Amino acid sequence: MSDMSSLNRKLIQTLAETISKQVDHFNKTEVECLIREFNVLLGECAASGRAVNGLDKEKFRSILHNNFGMTDDMIMDLVFRTFDRDNDSFVSLKEWIEGLSVFLRGTMDEKIKYCFQVYDLNSDNYISREEMFHLLKNSLIRQPTEEDPDEGIKDLVEITLKRMDHDHDGRLSFSDFEKAVKEENLLLEAFGTCLPDIMSTEAFEQHVFQEQLVL
Amino acid sequence: MGLSLTKAAQWTTAGKLEFTPMNESLLKELLSFVEDFSSRHPQEAEHVFEEPLRWSTTLGASDFKTDYYISGIDVQSHEKDSGGQPLLQLSPPTVCVRSFSQLSKLVHLAADKKLEELRACLEENKDAMVKILGPCFADILEKEDTHTDVLHLVDKDQGKDPEFKINLFHLLQNMNKQLLSKLLEEIEVELNLTALKNDIESLKRLCSEGEKRLLKSVRYTSDFEFSNGCRAPLWRQVYGDICYLVVEPCDTENLYITCSTAGFFLNGGIKQEGAESGYERTSDTYKDLLTLLKSRSPYFAEHINKQASAVQELPSTQSVHRHVESVDMEEQGELQRSYEQQEKNVQDKSRKQHLLNKKKYEPCPRWKKLGLMSPCGKAEERKSRNSSGMEMSSEIRKKKQGSGAKSKMKAEFSLSSLPGRLSSSQKIKTPARATELSSESSSQSEEEEEQSERRLESNTDLPPEYWQIQKLVKYLKGGDQTATVLTLCAMLDFNLMQETCQLAIRDVGGLEVLINLLDTDEVKCKIGSLKILRKISHNVQIRQTIVDMGGLQSIVKILDSPVKDLKALAAETIASVARFRRARRTVRLYGGIKKLVNLLHCVTNLASLTANQQKDVEVARCGALALWSCSKCTKNKEAIRKAGGIPLLGRLLKSPHENMLVPVVGTLQECASQESYRIAIQTEGMVKDLVKNLNSDNEELQMHCANAIFKCAEDEQTRDLVRKYKGLQPLVSLLAKVNNKQLLAAATGAIWKCSISVDNVAERFQEYKVLESLVELLTDQPEDVLVNVVGALGEFAQIPASKTIIRQCGGIKPLVNLLSGTNPELLVNVTKTVGACATDQDNMAIIDQLDGVRLVWSLLKNPSADVQSSAAWALCPCIENAKDSGEMVRSLVGGLELIVNLLKSTNDEVLASVCAAIAKIAKDKENLAVLTDHGVVPLLAKLTNTTDDKLRQHLAEAIGHCCMWGSNRASFGEAGAVAPLVRYLKSKDATVHQSTAMALYQLSKDPSNCITMHEKGVVKPLIHIMGSNDKTLQEAAAGCVRNIRLLAVANRKAILFY
């Protein structure tokens, strides 16, 4: 068993070394911690040595919910989709670390890119009016008295589109989005919270990097 | 005064003056009137009021200086009426004032509280006119503005000085007119006056003879038309009245109609010009004249419709929004100027003002309209082609009664906001804009269109931003955080510095939502909210509302947030909200000062900063901004110090960035009014940085630095430090910035204080030719610059060479000219400087030639004790150095009496200065004789019991010189002046010894004085003084002892021989 764990540790260290060269924002120790955390999250699957593809959607959603206080199922799915780059319905170790690199410590540019990917539902590199509507459809309390309960949301979409659509083509390209966010940082998470706030980031890092080192 | 107050001022139900802009300006006008009254009209100011004005004051005995007897907490004025009653009596908290001179003195004493005092006085003396003039005079004043002959009243009046009383009456009358016309400027006349006139003209045409006539006659009550087109008397115009009509219909009795900006209504029967009563409204208010006539005269109503042609001639009077300027009046007496003359400049002004007003009131005309139209009740069923606006409002009202809150959102909104605002808007502008409906005469068919359409039409009155903002606020209320952030961003896109938007946010309830967001956990929402708040809080009303809603507490709480952006924004918002006292207090009470000081921790002087450090710097900058705003009150300054803010500010002072330095230095200079700060600035080495930043390119920064030096250089070490760090030259070069008056005031102030150190003057300033520049600044500068320039010159003139330079640059003449000013601070400095210059014979010749001595002398009459003493000090060198000074002094009629009377002052400094001046005057025998006649001896003798060494010195000097006439020596002895003088020899001050020895020597020439002296044991200290190095002192002491000795010898001889 000790052979096993020492072998494991060795493996992890090598892996960490490779990955830390490919990913920004994390040093080797931190990557190591993240790998451990990943393994813990994978639970017994990893311990039993069976081939595991990674974190599935359910698991990932519960992480987002428990650690980063996200509640919106739709947004959580979208975040999962963005993490899962190869679209195999699992977040692999590499995807996990790459994703977290932006998620926790991304620069403004990286975050803009990330958020844009999250909001670009059909991955056509544009956020269309319909996509915005879809993203915002639950964001206003519907007033039953109104003839068209969606009127408010439609209006909000129009207002936002007008503000952000710099090339006036009725949809947001990446450069539209980027420009708007740089003008007003608040627009980064314009269509739903898909990044953790500073407190949960700190709490998570504390949990992963410090508590694990002690172990 | 009485009239405008009772009728025009806006009172709350509790009898308080409301805090409205109109009341403020009214008060300010009154204040300047009262303040200047005693200097402008000294005789009238003496007139004793029929009844005292009483009110509860915030002033205490400590606020009163000379001219008052102070006993405990009670104060009485020296000035008394013929019955011996003091004209001012204070037994806290009540104060009684019985003349204008006392009133204006009191206002001066109250300093920055003067507005409150006046407000309290007015609130508690609503019948001030009656109290001042007595009921019969006040009646006339109340009645009309025309020049009523009041002479006959004087016969009835038993007053002693009728002439002054009439003058006073006229003055008050003028004042009254001025006030009213000032107020008129603020009032817009809404109705289109030309349209109204045309209407009336067409109506007159309908009065033609024969069967066809609809009315018998139409006439104005007054033929006189004011320049603004109104015919109503001025004081009624305040209410919005335009003119009065008497209409004689064919079928009913005469109709007396008031045309006012609020509409048309029947009055109590104003038959002719100048009626005193009948102005009250006795009918509903109608939107236009035609409707009113139709409702009152069935005959007219029936026939008017037939006369289609006639109708066409009747344009609608309702409401083209036009502004008509009222009389433009600034100076007293301008009312009498011919009105035609004024009309020229009236128009431009009106346009400007119109724009201004329009902007200001844009957000809520709709409410005003609703509020104003509510009285027109029954008129709604009338099928007038012109009454669409009115119907609309009544429809809205119906809706209110009927479906209430369920009506369409927009209507709902205006209703809900109505109750609170209605009363105030009505009060603010009684004749507020009636409506802004377009003037097109709507045809019958249009009138029957859908309500909703109409509402839309009337909705367009508000700027489009208003509705957009309202919609956004709705989303804010009903949105989750994503929608909220989007909405906040959308709101940020509006021009939030524009008042329309600012007030719109408040008026639609957005402010509440924004403040609520601050208490959530959503960082982004808080950031968005603060971004909006920091901008809209540039508006005074918004700031107050934020504080009223308790928003400031939430903002202060955010200062603890771990998110730096949030902290910076919160501090920035505090900086812009905390511009008034209550807000600053709130910040302190909720621990905000400490939190703000904590924001100041950051690294500033590293060459390259990480992104994180840069954020810290930004947070610190915002913190400094907020502290700057907060530091305007004393307790906060103290709180900043206690929180350890001074060293942190000192560290930030080393920052290379201007945007950081401005708030930091701004805070420091604001706080430098406290001694603790001045010491800290000196000991923490901040003077160096302040000096360094004097060389900045940023004028604001330069100004704050100069101001800080100005305040700190009271201290000698600081002055030396300024010189050491080479701060004098940059200060001098700032004198060239003649266009930036604030900077100039700061720079001259700093130079003034630095020049108190002779080293600074002798070593540095002279070589920079600063005197020449300063003399140039003696003309055409604002008072705060002048005060400093003259103060500096006064310090420079302590050096003989400077006196010559001042003369050579032609500085004497402007200085003497400044003696006729009114600002006490300036006068103190001017007299001091003139006095210093007068020590030079050549300068004195010029001063004498310019009649400067008379000007200085007349300043002894100034109510300020500081000015009195400073003037008296200045007189000393003048008298000493003037050619033929005795003659010069005699030529000043009443001058000697004046100065002798000042010996009754209670201020030691005044007394000392006056004694010094008397000593100089008494050198001339003739003048001494006059002084003696005015009773100088007993007055001086009375003062001898003082313990103030400065006063003792000059008092002894004065006594010594006054001994030289007649039996004065004996009189001093009889008045008991000798014994106290002997005690002066025990004083530690050598100068006191000197003058006392001289005085004793003079007094000892009278034998009985010698006996008193000897009894009091004068010989021993005198013998001690004989050992002094000062020859005159030796001589005086020896002379005195000799006289005593001689007397003793003579005595013995007498005993021996007889």
Burial of B534 (0-12, 13-18, 19+ CB in 10 A): buried
* CB neighbour burial string for B513-530, b if at least 16 within 10 angstroms, e if fewer: bbbbbbeeebbbbbbbbb
Question: A28 CA to chain B: closest CA distance, Å?
Answer: 23
- Is the CB of A189 inside 8 Å of chain B's CB atoms? yes
Tell me what the mean pLDDT of segment B537-557 comes to: 92
Assess whether pLDDT exceeds 80 at residue B355.
Answer: no
CA distances from B928 to B314, B935, B966 (A): 86, 11, 10
Number of Cβ atoms within 10 Å of the Cβ of A199: 14
Please give the residue of chain B at the shortest CA–CA distance from A135: B482
**Contact check, Cβ <8 Å, A139/B480:** yes
Sign of the alpha-carbon torsion through B222, B227, B229, B234: negative
For residue A208, give Cα distances in angstroms to A10, A84, A212, B98, B107. Answer: 19, 21, 6, 83, 71
Q: Are B735 and B694 in contact (CB under 8 A)?
A: no
Residues B662, B681: Cα–Cα separation, whole Å: 16
pLDDT of amino acid B799: 84
- Chain B CB contacts of A136 under 8 Å are 482-483, 486
Does B523 contact A193 at a Cβ distance shorter than 8 Å?
Answer: no
Task: Find the closest chain A residue to B469 by CA distance.
Answer: A159
Per-residue pLDDT tens over the stretch B411-422: 333 333 333 333
Chain A residue with minimal CA distance to B472? A156
The secondary structure of B675-721, three-state, reads HHHHHHHHHCCHHHHHHHHHCCCCHHHHHHHHHHHHHHCCCHHHHHH
Burial class (CB in 10 A: 0-12, 13-18, 19+), A115: buried
**Is the pLDDT at B429 greater than 80, yes or no?**
no
- Does A156 contact B488 at a Cβ distance shorter than 8 Å? no
Phi-psi region of B890 (alpha: psi -120 to 50; beta: other; left: phi over 0): alpha
| Contact: B482, A143; criterion CB under 8 Å | no
Instruction: Mark yes or no for CB contact A191/B475 under 8 Å.
Output: no
CA–CA dist B753, B664 (Å, integer) = 22
> Confidence class of residue B556 from pLDDT cuts 50, 70 and 90?
very high
What pLDDT does B442 receive?
35
pLDDT-based confidence at residue B331 (cuts at 50, 70, 90): very low
Structure tokens at B281: 């409204």
pLDDT < 50 stretches in chain A: 1-2, 44-46
- Walk across the sheet containing B255-260 and list its strands: B215-220, B241-249, B255-260, B263-266
Of A141, A184, A192, the CB nearest to B492: A184
Per the structure block, which two tokens stand in for A205?
């890092």
Query: Strand, helix or coil at A24?
Result: coil
Across the interface, do B483 and A140 touch by the CB < 8 Å criterion?
yes
Specify the DSSP class assigned to residue B267. B
Residue B636 confidence (pLDDT) above 90: yes
Q: For residue A118, which residues of chain B lie inside 8 Å, CB to CB?
A: none
Chain A hits for B531, CB-CB cut-off 8 Å, are: 186
Q: Are B1000 and B1018 in contact (CB under 8 A)?
A: yes
Report A:135-164 residues touching B (Cβ under 8 A). Answer: 135-136, 138-141, 143, 152, 155-156, 159-160, 163
The tokens describing B299, both together, are 């005959």
Predicted confidence at residue B307, as pLDDT, reads 58
Model pLDDT for residues B969-1015, shown as the tens digit of each residue: 888 988 888 888 888 888 888 888 888 988 988 888 888 888 888 88
Cα dist. B251→A199, B211, B244, B294, B381 in Å?
84, 13, 21, 12, 22
Q: Are B7 and B235 in contact (CB under 8 A)?
A: yes
Nearest by CB: A152 against B475, B489, B531: B475
Per-residue model confidence as pLDDT tens digits over B185-225: 555 444 467 777 777 877 777 776 666 677 778 888 877 77
Q: Which helix (H) or strand (E) holds B788?
A: helix B783-796
Contact between chains at A156 and B487 (C-beta distance less than 8 A): yes
d(CA B1000, CA B994): 10
**Closest by Cβ to A136, choosing from B483, B490, B492:** B483
List, as one string, the DSSP characters of B143-204.
H-SS----HHHHHH---S-HHHHHHHHHHHHHHHHHHHHHHHHT--B-S-HHHHHHHHHHHH
Mean predicted lDDT score pLDDT of chain B: 77
| C-alpha distances out from residue B216 to B213, B258, B293, B553, Å | 7, 18, 13, 69
pLDDT value of residue B535 = 92
Q: Do A186 and B482 touch (CB under 8 A)?
A: no
Chain centroid offset of residue B581 CA: 17
Higher confidence at residue B211 or residue B1028? B1028
Residue B348 has pLDDT above 60, yes or no: no
Beta strands in chain A (DSSP E): 126-128, 171-173
CA B962, CA B955: separation in Å to the nearest integer?
10
Amino acid identity, position A132? M
Residue B507 and residue B538 in contact, taking contact as beta carbons nearer than 8 Å: no
Sheet hosting strand B74-77, strand order edge to edge: B48-56, B94-99, B88-91, B74-77, B68-71
The minimal CB distance from B481 to the residues A135, A193, A198 is found for A193
Tell which residue, B829, B828, B766, has the closest CA to residue B803. Answer: B766
Nearest to A184 among B478, B480, B489 (CB): B489
Query: H/E element holding B447?
Result: helix B444-447
Residue B840, C-beta contacts closer than 8 angstroms, at least 6 positions apart? B800, B803, B804, B807, B881
Pairing between strand B74-77 and B48-56?
unpaired
Q: Which of B410, B489, B491 to mutate to test the interface with A (most CBs of A within 10 A)?
A: B489
Amino acid at B107: V
| pLDDT one-digit tens code per residue, B638-695 | 999 999 999 999 989 988 888 899 999 999 999 999 889 999 988 888 999 999 999 8
Q: Across the interface, which of A156, A163, A189 has its CB nearest the CB of B483?
A: A156
Report CB contact under 8 Å: A186, B490.
no
What is the residue type of B647? P
d(CA B321, CA B262): 13
Contacts of A155 in chain B (CB under 8 A): 471, 475
Residue of A nearest to B479 (CA): A140
Q: Cα(B1015)–Cα(B692) distance, rounded to whole angstroms?
A: 66
Q: Which contacts qualify for B702-705: CB closer than 8 Å, 24 or more apart? A: B702/B734, B702/B743, B702/B746, B702/B747, B703/B740, B703/B742, B703/B743, B703/B746, B703/B747, B704/B662, B704/B665, B704/B666, B704/B668, B704/B669, B704/B746, B705/B665, B705/B669
Tell me the residues of B at the A interface, defined by beta carbons under 8 Å apart.
Answer: 471-472, 474-475, 478-483, 485-490, 492-493, 523-524, 527-528, 531, 562-563
Angle at B145 between CA B143 and CA B147, to 5 degrees: 105
Which residues does residue B286 pair with via DSSP β-bridges, in sequence order?
A: B264
* DSSP code at position B764: I
Cross-chain CB nearest to A140 (options B479, B527, B563): B479
- Specify the range with the lowest mean pLDDT, choosing from B659-668, B765-774, B869-878: B765-774
Both tokens of B782, joined, read 């604002």
Mean pLDDT computed over B221-234: 76
Residues making up chain B, counted from first to last? 1058
Interchain pair B488, A186: CB under 8 A: yes
Cβ distance B471 to A155 less than 8 Å, yes or no, reads yes
Distance CA B153, CA B136 (A): 8
B524 and A186 in contact by Cβ < 8 A?
yes
| C-beta atoms of B485 and A186 within 8 A | yes
Closest residue of A to B563, CA-based?
Answer: A198
Block residue for tokens 């008509």: B324
| CB-CB under 8 Å, A152 with B478 | yes
Q: Which residue of chain A has the CA closest to B468?
A: A159
The tokens of B282 are what?
């006795």
Give pTM, 2 decimals.
Answer: 0.60
C-beta separation of B845 from B883 below 8 A: yes
What's residue A137's pLDDT?
A: 86
Residue of B nearest to A133 (CA): B483
User: Nearest chain A Cα to B525, which residue?
Assistant: A186
Nearest alpha carbon to residue B215 among B188, B255, B181, B178: B255
Which of A139, A187, A197 shows the shortest C-beta gap to B483?
A139
Which residue in the set B479, B489, B563 is minimally distant from A187, CB to CB?
A: B489
Residue B786 has what pLDDT? 92
CA–CA separation, B7 and B236 (whole Å): 9
Is B478 in contact with A191 (Cβ distance < 8 A)? no
* Residues of chain A with C-beta less than 8 angstroms from the C-beta of B481: 193
Nearest to A141 among B478, B523, B528 (CB): B478
The answer to whether A190 contacts chain B (CB < 8 Å) is yes
pLDDT tens digit string along B124-174?
777 777 777 776 665 665 554 444 444 454 444 444 556 677 777 777 777
**Nearest-angstrom CA–CA distance, B76 and B159:** 24
pLDDT at B604: 66
Inter-chain touch A190–B486, beta carbons under 8 Å? yes
Euclidean distance between CA atoms B256 and B254, whole angstroms? 6
Contacts of B489 in chain A (CB under 8 A): 160, 163, 184, 186-187, 190
- Closest residue in B to A180 (Cα) is B489
